[in-house]
Each structure stands twice: as structure tokens, then as C-alpha cells.
Amino acid sequence: MKKIYNLFITVMFFTPFLNAAEHKISIPSDSKAEYSVLSKGSLGDLKTIVTKRSGSSGVSYSERAYDCSNRTVKYLGSGETLEQMKASGADKNMSEIFTGSIADFVGQEACN
């Protein structure tokens, strides 16, 4: 019984820290889906962000790289699982970010 109690205390103590960086963001141009930021980082001068999208078509994961100064973005990977996302190929070129697009709202979070 003591082992179960110790396991319970350990799980209850550490669980809030496992998803501490994960949080939801609002994407008005895709309002029927729910977006969560899983991680943020950098790749040289670019800001990176990994997001999870949950909607009627299922769950997908994307990693994007943003040039915040020039308002451009490219996909580093995407897939239905994090493993698929990591295994997929990156876009070769950066693309312009259009105001009000999904890339715009995700970019605001990445560049913040």
C-alpha cells in the first residue's frame, strides 16, 4: 500500500510539470479547431514552434520556422503523429505570411 501511495504522490507532484510549456492558442481563421503550442525554440536566427491541431479531421502536428523580421515562414515538418512530423521533410523556401492566416497567428506566438 505504501508503494502505491508513493507512486500516487510522485505522479501528482510531477504531472503538472510535464505539460508546463503546452498551452492553447486562438486561431480565429480556423475557429473549429483547437491549437496547442507544444514547444518553442530557435534555429539560428529563426524562431521555431511545434503545434498540435485537433479538429474534425483528426489530430496533426506541425513544426514551423519563422523569420520574424521579414514575416516569412516555412514548415520544418508535419504529420499525424510527432514521429511522422519529425520524419517528414522541410520546405526548401520561406513563404510570405498573410495577415489573418493560420501562419500569422502561430507566428505571433512563435515570435513573442
Compute the distance between CA of residue 92 and CA of residue 104 in angstroms, rounded to an integer. 19
pTM score, two decimals?
Answer: 0.80
Q: What is the pLDDT of residues 27-47, one digit of tens each?
A: 999 999 999 999 999 999 999
> For the chain, how long is the longest CA-to-CA vector?
59
Compute the distance between CA of residue 50 and CA of residue 65 in angstroms, rounded to an integer. 9
Q: What is the pLDDT of residues 78-107, one digit of tens each?
A: 999 999 999 999 999 999 999 999 999 999
- What secondary structure letter does DSSP report for 1? -
Compute the distance between CA of residue 95 and CA of residue 72 in angstroms, rounded to an integer. 5
